[in-house]
């Protein structure tokens, strides 16, 4: 699924998109250095799910690309390392922040999957409406 454009993603930019189900919100950003799973010429473009895996609060507005971190979450203060696959730096979350797999084709950024279970779900593709289906409608 198309989620952004390399050309539009400047330093410090944080964009959001829904994937793979309606209402599953993720963020796309370019961090300071190369990241695990990062794409682009410097490997610094990453995307993650926006819900803290501790108790489900949003970390979308708490992304600091220059620090390569998300958080501390406003509920219980977990922070995630965006350069290391969403690894918890500090805090009570019991899984990493799910990382959206990205691919680049002709300057466009596509989401191709998610590593890790999104908060609230038993399976990232069940109990909701796939975003592709919504697009078709």
Partner 1 sequence: MAADNPNTSEVPIPPTGAERSTRSCRYCIVGCGYEVYKWPVGEEGGPSADENALGIDYPAGYGEWPSPNMHEIIQENGQEYHVLFKPDTEYPVNEGGSHSVRGGTQAQSLYSPNNEDYDDRLKQPQIRIGGDLVTVDWDTAIEAWARATEIATENGENPNGYGQKLYFYQFIENTFAGTKLCHDVIGSPNWGGHNRPALTTEVPGLVNAGLAQWSYAYEDAAEADTIVLAGADPKENQDVIFSKWINEEGDADIVFIDPRKKFTANYAENNGGIHLQVNEATDPILLNAIARHIVDQGWHDEGFIEEWVMDNRETIDEEGWYQEEFGLTPEEYYDLLDDSRYAPENAAETTGVPAEDIREAAELIAQPDADETNTLFMLEKGLIWGWSHENTGAMANLTLITGSVGRPGTGITRAGGHQEGFWTNGAEGDAIAERSTQTFDGEKVEGVTVPPNTVERVRDGEIKHWHVIGNDPARHSYATQDLRNSIRERTSGAQPQTADIDEIERAFRERIENGGMVVTHQELYPNTTTQYADILLPAKAVESGEGGDYHRWNGERRFRQYQGFMEGPSGAKEDWEIFSMMGQRLGADDMDWESSREIFNLIAEEYPGAGGDHSLEGIAPAAEANDMTPAEYMETVEEGVQQPIYEENGEVQGTPRIHAPDGEREVMDHRFHTSTGEAIFQRVDWDRVVDPDDGTTIGDVYEQLSPGEDEIWVTNGRLQHLWQNMYTHQRLEYVQKRFPQNILQLHPNDAADREIEAGDLVEIVNDDVLNIHGENTEGSFTAVAYVVDEDDAAQGQAVSEGLAYTYWLYPDQVNNDVNPAYLDPANPNPGYKYGKGRIRRLGESEVKDEMSFKPMNIAPE
Residues that bind partner 1 (CB under 8 A): 20, 53-57, 67-69, 71-72, 74-77, 79, 81, 83-84, 87-95, 98, 101, 112-128
Q: Give the ranges where the chain is alpha helix by DSSP (H).
A: 131-136
Tell me the closest approach of the beta carbon of residue 36 to partner 1, in angstroms: 10
Tell me the closest approach of the beta carbon of residue 13 to partner 1, in angstroms: 20
Q: Is 101 a known active-site residue?
A: no
Q: Is 54 a known active-site residue?
A: yes
Catalytic residue among 19, 28, 49, 54: 54
Nearer to partner 1, 56 or 107 (CB): 56
- Spatial contact of 90 and 131, defined as CB atoms under 8 Å apart: no
Q: What is the layout of strands, in order, in the sheet containing 14-18?
A: 2-5, 108-115, 99-105, 45-49, 25-30, 14-18
Grouping H, G, I as helix, E, B as strand and the rest as coil, residue 62 is helix
- Spatial contact of 14 and 63, defined as CB atoms under 8 Å apart: yes
Nearer to partner 1, 8 or 132 (CB): 132
Active site residues: 54, 76
């Amino acid at each position: 699924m198309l989620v952004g454009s390399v050309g539009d993603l400047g330093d410090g930019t944080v964009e959001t998109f829904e994937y793979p189900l309606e209402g599953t919100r993720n963020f796309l950003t370019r961090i300071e250095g190369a990241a695990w799973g990062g794409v682009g010429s410097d490997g610094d473009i990453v995307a993650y799910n926006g819900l803290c895996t501790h108790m489900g609060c949003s970390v979308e507005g708490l992304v600091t690309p220059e620090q390569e971190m998300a958080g501390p979450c406003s509920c219980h203060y977990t922070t995630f390392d965006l350069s290391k696959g969403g690894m918890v730096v500090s805090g009570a979350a019991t899984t990493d922040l799910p990382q959206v797999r990205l691919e680049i084709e002709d300057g466009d950024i596509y989401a191709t999957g998610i590593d890790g279970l999104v908060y609230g779900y038993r399976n990232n593709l069940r109990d909701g409406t796939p975003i592709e289906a919504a697009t078709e409608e």
